[in-house]
Structure 1
Amino acid sequence: MYKCLIIDDEQLARQLLKVYVEKLDFLELIADFENPLDAIATIKSQTIDLVFLDIQMPELKGTDFAKMIPSHTKVIFTTAYSEYALQGFELNALDYLLKPITFNRFLTSVNKLKRDITTSISYNDTITVKSGYDLFKIKLNTITHIKSDSEYVLFFTANKKIMSHQTLKSLEKTLNSKQFIRVHRSYIINKEKVTGLKGRDLLIGDLKIPVSDTYYETIKRTLF
């Protein structure tokens, strides 16, 4: 079951999408909002898989609000204006629905969510790490953070650490950005393990991970 939100300043548009969502057993509507700013608390307080987001709204455009949504949350833009399509895809939207939205077109769009998340889960299962002459298979969801140490990196889980001869830069290219993010020249963290931000330090339980100026604004926007 994928949790979703509807954000649109038009009541009829919200109502139509609610009807469509209710037809599908794999979607759960958490809430609908007329004003995108009212949705921020909900997005921060729980994991939302999908947002149906209108673009042309009076207080805040959907394309601007999309930049505030966590990277793991998918966005399907809904609008009556086709000229916004390119901008929507530049923001890495899952899809773009042009009003009036038919149910068949809606279904095609949300099925992309199922394929995307299934692919993500398959990709984000395990990683094989070479340490000396040994090979270790680590479940990615157990990794808290990865630290650079000269020509080596250290993989940290809750109960062990494994050293591997590789660079953080090369490793960053292989990890799924939906789960891991660079926060410092010496650190990559697992987004799901973050418990807070204190000053310029990310918190993972009692552990403090420094955030450099280069990544600070991105971290605030995508994780909080």
Structure 2
Amino acid sequence: MTQPKSYRCIVVEDEVHHQELISFYLKKIGNVEVVGMFADTVNASIQIEKQKPDIVFLDINISGLEGPEFIDLLEYQPKIIMISAHSEEFMKQHYDIPYEAYVQKPISLDKLEDAIKGIE
């Protein structure tokens, strides 16, 4: 049996309890290492350019730049897993954001696992 691919990720989420929950679940999944957690897009963009993670878990409603502007600003383009309380249909209607997978809050282990499998 082959080992699942391992990923380095950065979490961009302004709610601390969601940061902690995502980190907790990713440790359980095992093949995703959290290399940074940020509550704003300014610090996140600096670290994304420095660390070049494979995945960014991005909450759409966050302090700093809105999601589309934030992604456009990045020179390095990691895979994006969107996180939002809004439905994916709402997101597609109101935001023009390229992303590989979508997780609707409330966040769960199963939802994160499915999102990661969706980018493999």
TM-score exceeds 0.5 = yes
Aligned to 1:61: 66
1:84 aligns with 2:91: yes
Higher percent of residues as strand = 1
Give the whole-Å Cα distance in 2 for the aligned partners of 1:50 and 1:11. 19
Count of equivalent residues: 112
Which residue pairs with 1:31 in the alignment? 36
Residue aligning to 1:5: 10
Q: Which has the higher contact order (CA 8 A, sep 6+)?
A: 2
The answer for the alignment partner of 2:21 in structure 1 is 16
Contact persistence 1:8–1:53 (CA under 8 A):
yes
Tell me the SS of whatever aligns to 1:66: helix
* Structure 2 counterparts to residues 147-186 of structure 1, below 5 A: none
Can you list the C-alpha shifts for 1:24-48, whole angstroms capped at 9, x where unaligned? Answer: 2211100100111111221111221
Structure 1 partner of 2:107: 101
Aligned partners of 2:67 and 2:97 also within 8 Å: no
Name the CA shift for 1:86/1:26 in 2 (closer, same or farther; >3 Å): farther
Q: More helix per residue: 1 or 2?
A: 2
Residues 10-35 of structure 1: per-residue CA shift (max 9 Å, x gap) = 11111110111111221110010011
Give the superposition deviation at 1:101: 1.5
Give the TM-score normalised by the residue count of structure 1: 0.47
Q: Distance in 1 between matches of 2:18 and 2:93?
A: 22
* Stretches of 4+ aligned residues off by more than 4 angstroms: none
TM-score by length of 2: 0.83
Is there any run of 5+ residues in structure 1 with no aligned partner, and where? Answer: 116-224
1:44-80 deviation digits (Å, cap 9, x = unpaired): 1122100000001232222321222323x10011011
1:44 is aligned, of 37, 49, 52, to: 49
CA–CA separation in structure 1 for the residues paired with 2:26 and 2:93? 25
